[in-house]
Copies of this chain bind each other. A is one copy, B any other.
């Protein structure tokens, strides 16, 4: 998770002819691919999403929530973190819509936002077993 595009490097201005700073082996292909790749905005959005899952503690929280809806103090106990730390992480997951929450009395219960998240989690877990 980082900023992005405080970059405007010195790369061939993609303007004309086979000019280039440090080559460009396949100019045509570069142009074509350049027009097809993901936009910076979308890439940032995706990076945020992947970033949310790029932390062992958050993955443990998610793997717990795959099993059951749990309140903060229980989650803290399950993953052995302080409640404050868990709360910070849950806020992040909440902001990115990976989890949702509801209040019941003094407790706040968290659960996965939707089935996609669980599926994605499982897919990667299985992918890594294959390799």
Query: A: which residues have CB within 8 A of B?
Result: 1-2, 4-5, 7-9, 11-12, 14, 20, 22-26, 29-30, 32-34, 36-38, 40, 42-51, 53-60, 63-64, 67-68, 70-71, 73-74, 76-83, 97, 107, 116, 120, 123-125, 127-128, 131
Contact B22 A81 (CB under 8 A): no
The residue in chain B whose Cβ has the minimal distance to the Cβ of A44 is B56
A73 CB contacts on chain B under 8 angstroms: 22-25
A-B contact pairs, 10 of them (CB 8 A): A9-B80, A20-B77, A25-B107, A29-B74, A30-B70, A36-B63, A37-B79, A44-B56, A47-B53, A50-B51
Closest 9 CB pairs of A and B: A51-B54, A43-B56, A50-B54, A50-B53, A38-B63, A54-B54, A4-B56, A43-B59, A37-B63
Closest to A58 in B: B47
Q: How far is the CA of A58 from the CA of B38 in the complex (A)?
A: 11
User: Do A46 and B8 have beta carbons less than 8 Å apart?
Assistant: no
With a cutoff of 8 Å between Cβ atoms, the chain B residues found around residue A125 in the complex are 38, 42, 46
Contact B83 A7 (CB under 8 A): no
A33 touching B97 by the CB < 8 A rule? no
